[in-house]
A = this chain, B = another copy of it.
Amino acid sequence: MVTLKQIAEELGISITTVSKALKEYPDVSKKTRKLVRETASMLNYKPNSFAVNLRTRESKTIGLIIPVIVHHFFSSVIKGIIEQAEKKGYLVIILQSNESYELEKKQVDLLLSKRVDGILISLANGTADFKHLNDVIENETPLVMFDKIAKMVKCSKVIIDDRKASYKATQHLIDIGCKRIAHFRGPLLPQNSIDRFLGYKKALLDNGLEYDSSLVYICECGDMSFEEGKLNAQKLLKEHKDVDGIFINTDLVAIGAMTEFMKQGVRIPEDISIVGFSNWFMASVISPSLTTINQPGLEMGINAFKLLYKEIKKKKKNSDFSFKELVLDTDLVIRESTKN
């Protein structure tokens, strides 16, 4: 690693002069500045950015904590965040909480100790205590939550209206004539699982259909997997042969369920209509293709970074800053898994 000292020795001038020359100080002659610049470039000198950081108190690095990476929605969010961050000269450290509260807590601490300029987070399913997030805020590190958020944490948020979206999904099943509509919901804790469940329930009641809690299947394993969908489909076929529509919390689970139904000879959509949630790419290429709610991952990533950036800038200037809750639009994509 080339140092200022080496450049100074190479040119027979003082380190201070080299340092000043590289910073284009006017008390160093133009000729010397040029010489230093050229020598630095020739020796492939890289300014020590950690030293720079000490001075500016900025790391130009932000942290991102997400529950899981191998996931169409989250990888779209990541793409949006890092593209936007790069435009503004920020690097993104990515950590995966694996849906674990303990891990998420450790990762927040790690990012704070690294003095990142801000943190973006989507909560793990296991997170029910929010002290670690309040620590971020107390530490005056800008924080933006997205998708899986905690309503009671005071920071900016980017979300979709899960209740409205799932109401729309359920209304579609009702509109095409389904009478007994089940719901495969996510785990108990996350706010978006709760909201999607509430949207489903409200749509039933608003349409004069009975709400039957035995038709709601909870995700037991904590993650929302393909296997989960298969298992819930098996249970449902044993317990409720009369179900003619299902609103499923996420596409991957829906695809697992469809695989199991088809294996057991249940026809989709003739016997059961299915609506998923998220619009994974896969949903469009399977057969029958899956009707689902389109969740704008890329847009969510872009907006989450933008809000964080605004807060970083405001805090740097000690300007007033007020939190913003941005609600992105979703739409229903009708495909073959629901009756026409």
Contacts and interface: CB of A to CB of B under 8 A. Distances in A.
B82 A95 contact: yes
A75 B95 CA distance: 13
A114 interface: yes
Interface string A67-87: 001111001101100110010
A287 B48 CA distance: 54
Interface in A132-146: 135, 138-140
A251 to B, nearest CB: 11
Given A61-B93, A82-B96, A139-B44, A113 B49 contact: yes
A115 interface: yes
Contacts of A61: 93, 114
A54 interface: yes
A177 B281 CA distance: 33
A90 B214 CA distance: 46
A79 B69 contact: yes
A110 interface: yes
A226 B285 contact: yes
Contacts of A287: 286-287
A50 interface: yes
A70 B78 CA distance: 9
A42 interface: no
A1 B46 contact: no
Contacts of A59: 50
Contacts of A75: 69-71, 75
Contacts of A281: 226, 282
Nearest to A47: B113
A128 B120 CA distance: 35
Given A92-B93, A93-B93, A46 B139 contact: yes
A21 interface: no
Contacts of A86: 95
A135 B138 CA distance: 42
A16 interface: no
Contacts of A18: none
7 contacts: A48-B115, A50-B59, A69-B78, A78-B94, A91-B114, A281-B282, A286-B286
Interface in A189-231: 226
A112 interface: yes
Contacts of A152: none
A75 B96 CA distance: 12
B50 A139 contact: no
Q: Chain B CB within 10 Å — which of A50, A54, A95 has the most? A: A50
A53 interface: yes
A50 B115 contact: yes
Contact of A76 (B47, B70, B255): B70
Interface in A48-64: 48-51, 53-54, 59, 61
Closest 9 CB pairs of A and B: A50-B53, A287-B287, A70-B75, A91-B93, A50-B50, A282-B282, A69-B79, A46-B113, A75-B75
